[in-house]
Structure 1
Amino acid sequence: MRIDDAPGLLREGYTWAGRLRGDRPAVPIRLLGRRAALVGGPEGVRRFYDPSLRRRGALPLPVKLVLFGRGSIHGLDDAEHRHDKAMYLNVLTPAAVDDLSRRAQAEWSAAASSWTADRPVVLFDEAVRVLTASVLSWAGIPDPRADVTGRRLAAVLDGFATPGAPYARAALARWRLNRWAAGLVRKVRRNQIQPRPGTALDVAARARDLDGSLLSETRAAVALLNVVRPTVAVAWFVTYAGIALHQQPEWRRRVASGDSAACRAFAQEVRRLYPFVPVLAARARDEQDVLGVRVPAGGLVVLDVHGTDHDPTHWPEPERFDPNRFLSGPVDPDTLVPQGGGDVRTGHRCPGEDVTLTMIEVATRALAETPYTLPPQDFRVDLSRMPTLPRSRVVMTVPPSSDQRPSETEPSRSGHEIA
């Protein structure tokens, strides 16, 4: 019997799947006691989103309950999934994303104006604060303790896949967030608060199940958190964007000059180089062939997200940060899957992908226009940590006079950045 590969995933994190798969579209593995196929590359992505696979039961319960919540869309299939997906798409309309963008621009502008030369700023913490404030107001959520909510959301995201103290902190934060979100839903239903029509809180509180019954407070709270939480997760991308801008002065100038195409390409390259998770999982509905690997009914199919986004066949010199990749023509969507693949309306591709890109762009533009520097610090990244951050969480300083040009010096690094 093949040895279970789960310990390797915990040890190696982002590089685990690529090491096992190499340049093959699929290899047999054993994960969590189940026979499985590890797939990647465009062919693997297309196979992973085939209807013969399902999401129910694919994730370990401890991870699912802390990150997504009980009954979340991430574990639904077929009619249930399409029904819930429609709710999210109704919230995340182009007009709503534009509204969120304007709110984030205002929050970043206010944040940058408060940065002073005598106070170093931890970019990750600042991004969590700004993104939380932006998404809560946009979602119609009144929250006088937004900073506390932001820290709890960050704790969930930081520890959901890390055993020990980080997971315990994440589980406690999730429990508190569940109570908070359920309380908001309850207040809407009792007319104690009245969010703007069409906002995430309004839609979640009034959402109905496939049979037409009102969602329970618990499930409505989960739906609300699954709009708010991914927006705060953009703080990880923003942190890496801060380093990349510092290391790429020419791109920093282009973004600051108002070049929207350069800004979008920069944001895409941040997502490609630094995906949030290393892998995704699905289950086989019945025994089937997965690109040459036999998977039994209930067996797993695991998508190598990091390896697909770093495939040298489609991304030459994949460890090099180069936004030009996204300025030379259309990109095959099955080669760029930092938030999953497939069709956003009918499949399991993240409906908040436009939100993520927009939030990275807004932050990138704000940072490019700010004359910050990165003093010597520990930029090393633990690739076994999921998700992972530079150890310093990126400390910035601003000069005494705001009319100084952004520094073009390289940060003092030890170790390596995520690859």
Structure 2
Amino acid sequence: MTEEYQMPKEEGIDHSLGLLKEGYHFISNRSKGLQTDVFETRLLGMKVICMGGKEAAEIFYDDKKFQRQHAAPNRVVQTLFGKGGVQALDGKEHRHRKEMFMSVMTQERLGELARITGHQWELALNRWTQVKQVVFYEEVQEILSRAACEWAGVHVEEDDIKETTKNLAAMFESAATAGPKHWVGRNARNQVEKWMTELVENIRNGKVKPQEDTILHRFTWHRDLEGNLLSPETVAVEIINILRPIVAIAIYINFIVLALHENPEVTTKLRSGNDRFIQMFIHEIRRFYPFFPFVAALVKKDFTWRGYDFEKGTLTLLDLYGTNHDTKIWDNPEHFSPERFDKREESLYDFIPQGGGKYLEGHRCAGEQATIEIMKVSLDYVVNKMEYHLPNQDLHFSMTSMPSIPNSKIILENIRRK
């Protein structure tokens, strides 16, 4: 018989303001204060369980204990995820939809994505050498927007590419905001979903004929477990779930430049072409810098873990950032050190910048390998194919803004080809 204990609890009526003030550190700060990796708090008037660490992640990604449907706040659905997307599915329906995504993440297709991304870097470098300075974050967003649309088979007119980039970026830049910025993201999603829904409808009625090997074609004609085509609106959401996350990789690429600036000793190793070190460096970027703060799920059924009761329907947050900085997992986690990944055993639950668990059976991001491939191509250009000057600017980044990027968005001057 399992002995039951009272779950550690943060006292107080509500701690939503604390979440806004502490951001990425909200869960880990309380874990340290309460000396536990699982505790209860209250956010927006609701009871919420917060968890962090390898063992907590393993439980969190057990689909028999947690569900994703209805877990995400409405403002996140209206901006980041969209209605009916793969993130909110569970069980057989989730696995079937996830298979659709994983079918386009083959080695061959990822190689094509890398090739397209490299081509867009070439074109961008041609432009940058003609101007005095660029805002790197915004420029990389456009590179990735162009690459994502081409890879997915979505044609965008040249006159529309900047607006498309702006709208895709607004979806992830507004997900954790309120007020005017939230409505900018919501309007951006509405615009892109409308465009994409009409595109899917035009494909199905024969007015538009994409190549059959494209993501656009495959998603448009995908059938659910009952053999029915997905609604055009759902297809639109899932195509955006390809495009938007690729544009969001601009956050990591900005941090690549910051890491090189603050750790110049790694540049020589990266230029040596050592594939192993390049992989370690990219992993450390994804571990060290803030990206997703946490992910949400609902307790699927009553269960007990470590003697603590988890009641059905309770919102639960898994601390991604805190787990990637957990001193029980990582030695000196606040120090940037790619070497920490040398000879390190792979784990599904302790290195979780884009979620944990398995790709098909769980909710780990289907695009994780795409992220790594795009980062490799981008790193190669930054380190080996261009020279630039980093002028004085505000390179600090917030641990309360989500997502977080350097305040200056990284300004580069006097860019030249090597």
Name the TM-score, length of structure 1 as normaliser.
0.92
1:375 aligns with 2:418: no
Unaligned 5+ residue runs, structure 1? Answer: 404-419
Q: Is the CA contact (8 Å cut-off) linking 1:284 and 1:297 kept in structure 2?
A: yes
Measured in 2, the distance between the counterparts of 1:197 and 1:290 equals 48
Measured in 2, the distance between the counterparts of 1:350 and 1:397 equals 35
- Cα distance change on mapping 1:291 and 1:163 into 2, 3 Å: farther
Match of 2:297, SS state, is: strand
The one-letter code matched in structure 2 to 1:237 is: Y
Which residue pairs with 1:396 in the alignment? Answer: 412
Q: Is the CA contact (8 Å cut-off) linking 1:37 and 1:293 kept in structure 2?
A: no
Q: Over residues 246-300 of structure 1, what are the superposed CA-to-partner deviations in whole Å (9 max), with x where a residue is unaligned?
A: 2233322322332222221111111101231211111011222244432221002
Out of 187, 190, 200, which is 2:205 matched to? Answer: 190
- Cα distance change on mapping 1:118 and 1:223 into 2, 3 Å: closer
1:126 aligns with 2:139: yes
Measured in 2, the distance between the counterparts of 1:381 and 1:11 equals 14
Which residue pairs with 2:289 in the alignment? Answer: 274
Write the mapping of 1:21-100 to structure 2, written as runs, cut at 5 A: 21-22=31-32, 24-51=36-63, 52-100=65-113
Percent of counterpart pairs with the same letter?
Answer: 34
Q: Is the CA contact (8 Å cut-off) linking 2:151 and 2:214 kept in structure 1?
A: yes
Which residue pairs with 2:338 in the alignment? Answer: 323
Write the mapping of 1:239-258 to structure 2, written as runs, cut at 5 A: 239-258=254-273
Please report how far the alpha carbon of residue 2 of structure 1 lies from its aligned counterpart in structure 2 after TM superposition. Answer: 4.8
Write the mapping of 1:223-302 to structure 2, written as runs, cut at 5 A: 223-302=238-317
Please report how far the alpha carbon of residue 118 of structure 1 lies from its aligned counterpart in structure 2 after TM superposition. Answer: 4.5
Measured in 2, the distance between the counterparts of 1:135 and 1:268 equals 22
Q: Is the CA contact (8 Å cut-off) linking 1:25 and 1:291 kept in structure 2?
A: no
Write the mapping of 1:357-368 to structure 2, written as runs, cut at 5 A: 357-368=372-383
Q: Over residues 159-193 of structure 1, what are the superposed CA-to-partner deviations in whole Å (9 max), with x where a residue is unaligned?
A: 11111222111011111111111122122212232
Q: Is the CA contact (8 Å cut-off) linking 1:58 and 1:283 kept in structure 2?
A: yes
The one-letter code matched in structure 1 to 2:46 is: R
Pick which of 4-13 and 270-279 moved more.
4-13
Please report how far the alpha carbon of residue 128 of structure 1 lies from its aligned counterpart in structure 2 after TM superposition. Answer: 0.3
Q: Is the CA contact (8 Å cut-off) linking 1:267 and 1:361 kept in structure 2?
A: yes
Pick which of 274-283 and 290-299 moved more.
290-299
Pick which of 212-221 and 4-13 moved more.
4-13
Which residue pairs with 2:7 in the alignment? Answer: none
**Across the two proteins, how many residue pairs are aligned to each other?**
402
- Cα distance change on mapping 1:117 and 1:377 into 2, 3 Å: farther
Q: Over residues 97-118 of structure 1, what are the superposed CA-to-partner deviations in whole Å (9 max), with x where a residue is unaligned?
A: 1110111111112212332275
Match of 1:4, SS state, is: coil
Which residue pairs with 1:16 in the alignment? Answer: 26
RMSD: 1.7
Match of 1:114, SS state, is: helix
The one-letter code matched in structure 2 to 1:186 is: E
Measured in 2, the distance between the counterparts of 1:263 and 1:24 equals 35
Q: Is the CA contact (8 Å cut-off) linking 1:26 and 1:290 kept in structure 2?
A: no
